[in-house]
Amino acid sequence: MFGKKKDEMSTPTNADTTTATSSADQSKSYLRQDAPSSPGVSRPAAPEIARRPPDLSAFTQRRDQPSSSAPRAGETDHKKLIVGREIILNGEIRTCDFLVVEGRVEAVLNDCRQIDIASSGQFKGSADIESADISGRFDGDLTVHGRLTVRATGRVFGKVKYGQLEVERGGIISGTVESLPEASASEAAA
């Protein structure tokens, strides 16, 4: 090859092949077994490749969720339902601790603690819940035993009963609106 004349070059013999395979056994080679090898040439060792840690970003809290919808210390969100954008859900929803609506829901909602309607979300039907945070649109009968928060982009149409009411500038409530009797009694006691 380098510095040798053509007539000095020879084909490998059986002795050369056995030494090549014994050196290949000592260091792992990724070359083909039938490829000719030179007896005095050492092969570089294969580099160690570090493993990547697993990606756990799917299990962390999403950045676009408001901090008020995050579970409090000691609470678990085992019964959480998220209706994503461009998803349509029809039916009845029961025993849901936390409902997030980013798409469109046409349902009857019972035994639910909290509903969060994102600015892209729409809910049509009836809901009897503990607290509500509405940035999107709600059409129907809404009974909130705790706090009803209507954000600046929120629209609520229909029959609304609430324990406490908070409406940001720009939020709309249209229809029949009344406070619950137990909320009035607790305010009078305070």
96-155 residue pLDDT tens: 889 999 999 999 998 889 999 999 999 999 999 999 999 999 999 999 999 999 999 999
Distance of CA 133 to the CA centre of its chain: 20
- Per-residue pLDDT reduced to its tens digit, 30-55: 655 655 555 666 666 667 777 777 76
Look at residue 181 and tell me whether its pLDDT is greater than 90. Answer: no
Q: What is the pLDDT of residue 24?
A: 45
Structural domains counted in the chain: 1
As a whole number of angstroms, the longest Cα–Cα distance in the chain is 112
Amino acid identity for residue 139 in this structure = D
User: Regarding predicted confidence, which is higher, 88 or 15?
Assistant: 88
Strand partners, 7: none
Host domain of residue 106: 77-189
pLDDT at 137: 96
- Would residue 178 count as lying in a domain? yes
pTM of the model: 0.56
User: 60 phi and psi, to 5 degrees?
Assistant: -90, 165
* Domain presence at residue 121: yes
Domain-embedded: residue 43? no
In a domain, 72, yes or no: no
| Average pLDDT estimate for 22-29 | 53
How far does CA 86 lie from the centroid of its chain? 16
Domain membership flag for residue 9: no
Is the CA virtual torsion 10, 13, 19, 22 positive or negative?
positive
pLDDT at residue 57, rounded to an integer: 63
pLDDT computed for residue 145 by the predictor: 93
